[in-house]
Structure 1
Amino acid sequence: MNFYAILVAAISTLLVGFVWYGPLFGKAWMAETGFTEEELKKGSMVKIFGLTFVFSLFLAMIMQVLCIHQFGPLGLIGGPDFIETAKPSYAAFMADYGNAFRTYKHGALHGFMSGLFLALPLVAVNGLFERKSWKYIFIHAGYWTVVMTIMGAIVCGWV
């Protein structure tokens, strides 16, 4: 795992969030949730941003598995602890394909697909049961799709 890429990818969620829920869709989001600026200032920002960063680290870690194909063969041998005892076919495979598809563009593609096929359904199901509008659902799902696209690019391309 590239811990620098994970750290930068986690930070990207906060940076995108400042823009997404600020100048881009802040007013629409507040209207859909019923929040006012005064109400938003009442929360513990340390707690909110701290836990957001921790959860973003979790997401960045799993994004590597979703975006980097080499995690598949590594999982098949049992993980990093078993590289030394793996069959020669693992070493041969990694010699041939060790850096295949390790680009920012490829990571962005997998990140986008993760946003579309993971984040959108998760946000939509919750939104439907909470009786939220489609506007609300698309604001949140759009944020996560953009974030996961950026995170995928960072964790896959940063070799």
Structure 2
Amino acid sequence: MEFNLLAVLVAALSSFLVGFIWYNPKVFGTIWMKEAGLTQEQLEKGNMLKIFGLTFVYSFMFAFMMPTLVIHQMGAISMVGGPPLIEVAKPSYVAFMADYGDVFRTFQHGALHGFLSGIFLATPIIAINGLFEHRTWKHILIQAGYWIVTMTIMGSIICGWK
């Protein structure tokens, strides 16, 4: 099983699509701006090249780690020392991968693990930061919801795309 860089790139880009919909004024954008204490004028003053460029870098970093969260076989690969050592792995690894190499490698299973990762990894981080920043629960839930949906889609893409 090889690392699928194209799937990771597409997963990283999916965060933009989710954000475009999620933060649209007709969805959560207006509520989010109010809860964040921002105006449309303030948002328009931002350096969009910097914002979107760094957003892609960070989304890529996030997507780069998603295979370890959504693909069970990544654990077996790490047990032999990673991809460079697969060629010298013991026969038990080869037999395991022959039997289980594509088990649970579906879009649905990736979505499940992405969703759980969003609930149990992203949400606590966002909630803790929001509590210390004195954000409202509306703000925290909008932010957490974005990452739950994004991680669900990322997980689906990365696990299902073989």
What SS does the corresponding residue of 2:88 show, helix, strand or coil?
A: coil
Specify the code of the residue in structure 2 equivalent to 1:3.
L
What SS does the corresponding residue of 1:78 show, helix, strand or coil?
A: coil
Map 1:140-151; keep pairs closer than 5 Å.
140-151=143-154
Unaligned runs of at least 5 residues, structure 2: none
**1:94, CA displacement in angstroms?**
0.3
What SS does the corresponding residue of 1:24 show, helix, strand or coil?
A: coil
Quote the Cα distance in structure 2 between the aligned partners of 1:106 and 1:84: 28
| 2:113 corresponds to which of 104, 110, 114 | 110
| 2:67 corresponds to which of 64, 68, 76 | 64
| 1:37 corresponds to which of 27, 37, 40 | 40
Quote the Cα distance in structure 2 between the aligned partners of 1:134 and 1:107: 28
Q: TM-score under structure 1 normalisation?
A: 0.99
Q: TM-score under structure 2 normalisation?
A: 0.97
Specify the code of the residue in structure 2 equivalent to 1:136.
H
**1:3, CA displacement in angstroms?**
1.1
Residues 2-42 of structure 1 show CA distances to partners (whole Å, capped at 9, x for unaligned) of: 11111111111011101111131000000001111010000
Map 1:72-91; keep pairs closer than 5 Å.
72-91=75-94
| 1:16 corresponds to which of 4, 15, 18 | 18
Quote the Cα distance in structure 2 between the aligned partners of 1:59 and 1:102: 20
Give runs of ≥4 in structure 1 deviating > 6 Å.
none
Quote the Cα distance in structure 1 between the aligned partners of 2:145 and 2:125: 12
Residues 38-77 of structure 1 show CA distances to partners (whole Å, capped at 9, x for unaligned) of: 1000010000000001111111111111000010011001
Unaligned runs of at least 5 residues, structure 1: none
Please say if 1:50 is aligned against 2:53.
yes
**1:85, CA displacement in angstroms?**
1.1
**1:101, CA displacement in angstroms?**
0.3
Match of 2:28 in 1: 25
Q: How many residues align?
A: 159
Specify the code of the residue in structure 2 equivalent to 1:6.
V
Specify the code of the residue in structure 2 equivalent to 1:10.
A
The Cα RMSD (Å) is 0.6
Quote the Cα distance in structure 2 between the aligned partners of 1:51 and 1:38: 21
Taking every aligned residue pair, what percent have the same amino acid on both sides?
A: 62
What SS does the corresponding residue of 1:102 show, helix, strand or coil?
A: coil
